[in-house]
A and B are shown apart, each in its own frame.
Chain A
Amino acid sequence: MKVLVLNSMVPFLKGGAEALAYHLVQKLNDTRGVHAELVRIPFKWEPAERLIDEILICRSMRLYGTDMMIGLKFPAYLVPHNRKRLWLLHQFRQAYDLWDTGQSNIPNTSRGREIRHAIIEADNRCFPDCDKIFATRLVAKRLQHYNGFDAEIMMAPLNDPELFVGGDYGSYVFCGGRINAAKRQHLLVEAMRFTRNNVKLVVAGPPDTPSDAARLQDLVERYNLNDRVYLDLGFLTREWIAKYVNEALACAYLPVDEDSVGYVTMEAFSAAKAILTVSDAGGLLDIVHDGDTGLVVQPDPQSLATAINRLANDRNTTIEMGKEGRMRWNSMNVTWPATIERLLA
């Protein structure tokens, strides 16, 4: 069976969605009897008037010699095909929830409202033609709320679970992932001012901008935390990150209202580490419950410090929560083989 995966792209930009598309195609090709390829259609949403062109571009494209199409992002999923499935990573949020919260790039003018309407209309005409739609819980909720369509819940699996096998429980809390203000590593660094001396913090990952790196470095200097906070900033190999996770006491992840569970959470649970997070973190709160598989506290340094002390002082409970997290995660069967099977079923 020939499966074509369609994704939107911004030339020269690569992020999580690109990595997911790449792995999806690879895992499809590892499946017996399946031949998969990726098509990436350039997408530009500024000025807002472009959006009409973008819809037209995708609706005018034709596919040749393809048995099944899997669409990932707007507007690439609008490309017509008679056997279409969506793994809906994103609708165009500026026409939906970001419009409602006033964060849209589409102006609230009569023309802007027409453009927004065109996007919703294009979506509403596309979805009935899909024989299945998969999405994360939050994306599915929006789809139901704004378009009235149901989606089956599907999470993106870890691409390299074999690296995150766990290990000894050390004396540091580990915070991995991209470094920027919205991931709030700075709150953790500040929290370390108020923690006891028997616990350390390791923050590792690529900063989005030099100022994201400088912010953390300045905090460490200002509060004289050099011996208890270790910053390993830059691009790190997967093996290196896995070593940090596998030997940690627990992992921390504090994004602002993220759609998905996040790779950091999956890596931690895969390695049987409890997660420290905050009450406005979004998608990961689906599987992290306070006192059960981790700790969920208010997003301020004092509350985080109390939680870090708790993790360090009651190591047995921390380890138990990590093991519970692994069990919970494994029982969800979020793996590539299971994902491919559902996508093609």
Chain B
Amino acid sequence: MKIALCASFLPFINGGGRFIVEWLERKLVENGHEVERIYLPFVEDFRDMFAQMVAYRLIDLTESCDRLIAFRPPSYMLRHPCKILWFIHHFRFYYDLWNTEYRPVPDSVAGRAIRDMVFAADNVTLREARHIFTNSRTVSDRLRQFNGIDSEVLYPPLQDPERFRSDGYGDEIVCISRIEHHKRQHLLIEALSHTKAPVKLRICGDSIPPPTYSDELKALVGRLGLDGRVVFEQRWISEEEKIELLATALAVAYVPFDEDSYGYPSLEGSHAHKAILTTTDSGGVTELVVDSVNGYVCAPQPQALGEAMDRLFLDRSRASAMGRAAYQRVLDLGITWENVVQKLLA
């Protein structure tokens, strides 16, 4: 089958929005399909946002492929008789973030008119899709709530999940993710100061400049006297390195604030048979983690997280059982490429 994958993108910026497209591309090719990946620029500025949407709308791929799979907005504005969506988020500033500081236009007659136009364009073009899949329950809920559209959750797998492994359960809780304030690595450092057991913490990952938050984290480690127990590295961690770090980890931690999806760090931990430490307000992560089954879902407070860290350290057999349950949970949810390819091409 000839399949076009179409997504808007930000030049020079890598991230989850590209991984989902490029990993799928590879799997489709492995399954014998011809794939054309089309990344189109888009600038989310209300002054010329609609002209760009028209540009997307005018692009004609109807005769050049058997199926169009669209991802990031507004790529689903392209027309195709067999249009499938793997919808990963809305123009959030006009949807769930409208009543926050992120709102891009004033909540005035004019501002609301712009918002209405975004809704109108979405409502027409989303409904043309033969089927809409989302990457999380959160995103599916929003589609229902804001657009009155039903969708099916199709969890995105990791690129090569079988590469992850477990070599046992050491002393270290590992958090590999972008170092950013809303990922709340500070909460983990503060939690460590509440532990009674000699559990250790490793925080690593890349960050977007400026390094303000990184500097704060470093200072926090010093202030709390945790130098010997926290390894902090602000840099890109390769897949190979990640696999090794997770193989000997006691558990993984991922405590973002209200994320849409379960996040690749939780998935990586699951494939390495590690329990996941997260918080009740982490959003999509709680779709994956069931408290005391495949990890701990704690109140977003240092005290509660510290207690969970102690429990993981002191009861290794429990930690390893939860780790195995984490792997099973991924299979139960159908987070496999086999499932994804079958659903998207059905």
Nearest CB in chain B: distance from A18 CB, A: 11
- Check: A122 CB closer than 8 A to any chain B CB: no
Q: How far is B54's CA from A11's CA once the two chains are assembled, in angstroms?
A: 20
Residues on B with C-beta less than 8 A from A63 are 11, 41, 43
Q: How far is B12's CA from A40's CA once the two chains are assembled, in angstroms?
A: 15
Stretch of A54-62, A280-288, A321-329 on the interface side:
A54-62
Residues on B with C-beta less than 8 A from A41 are 40, 59
Size of the A side of the interface (Cβ < 8 Å), in residues, is 27
Q: Digit string of A38-56 for contact with B (CB within 8 Å is 1, else 0)?
A: 0111101000001001101
Which residues 16-42 in B have Cβ within 8 Å of A in the complex?
Answer: 34, 36, 38-42
Size of the B side of the interface (Cβ < 8 Å), in residues, is 26
Nearest CB in chain B: distance from A190 CB, A: 37
Q: How far is B58's CA from A278's CA once the two chains are assembled, in angstroms?
A: 44
Residues on B with C-beta less than 8 A from A42 are 38, 59-61, 64
- Check: A65 CB closer than 8 A to any chain B CB: yes
Are A11 and B43 neighbours in the complex by a CB distance under 8 Å? Answer: no
Are A39 and B40 neighbours in the complex by a CB distance under 8 Å? Answer: yes
Given A35-B12, A42-B64, A57-B58, does the pair A12, B2 have CB atoms closer than 8 Å? yes
Are A62 and B43 neighbours in the complex by a CB distance under 8 Å? Answer: yes
Q: Digit string of A218-246 for contact with B (CB within 8 Å is 1, else 0)?
A: 00000000000000000000000000000
Residues on A with C-beta less than 8 A from B34 are 12
Nearest CB in chain A: distance from B68 CB, A: 10
Residues on A with C-beta less than 8 A from B36 are 11-12
Are A11 and B4 neighbours in the complex by a CB distance under 8 Å? Answer: yes
Q: Digit string of B50-84 for contact with A (CB within 8 Å is 1, else 0)?
A: 01101100111100110000000000000000000
With beta carbons under 8 angstroms apart, the residue of A2, A12, A35, A61 that contacts B55 is A61
Most buried by A among B2, B10, B34, B38: B38
With beta carbons under 8 angstroms apart, the residue of A37, A54, A57 that contacts B12 is A37
Nearest CB in chain A: distance from B19 CB, A: 16
- Check: B13 CB closer than 8 A to any chain A CB: yes
Are A11 and B51 neighbours in the complex by a CB distance under 8 Å? Answer: no
Nearest CB in chain B: distance from A240 CB, A: 25
Q: How far is B52's CA from A79's CA once the two chains are assembled, in angstroms?
A: 11
With beta carbons under 8 angstroms apart, the residue of A9, A37, A44 that contacts B11 is A37
Nearest CB in chain A: distance from B91 CB, A: 15
Residues on B with C-beta less than 8 A from A39 are 11, 39-41
With beta carbons under 8 angstroms apart, the residue of A2, A57, A62 that contacts B45 is A62
Residues on A with C-beta less than 8 A from B51 are 60
- Check: B101 CB closer than 8 A to any chain A CB: no
Are B64 and A12 neighbours in the complex by a CB distance under 8 Å? Answer: yes
* Residue of B whose beta carbon sits closest to that of A54: B58
Residues on B with C-beta less than 8 A from A35 are 12
With beta carbons under 8 angstroms apart, the residue of B2, B11, B58, B61 that contacts A2 is B11
A11-B65, A62-B52 are known contacts; what are 10 more A-B pairs with Cβ within 8 Å? A11-B4, A12-B2, A37-B11, A39-B11, A42-B38, A42-B59, A60-B52, A62-B42, A64-B10, A64-B41
Give 14 A-B contacts (CB < 8 Å), ordered by A residue. Answer: A2-B11, A11-B38, A12-B65, A35-B12, A42-B60, A50-B60, A53-B58, A57-B58, A57-B59, A58-B55, A62-B41, A63-B41, A65-B11, A66-B11
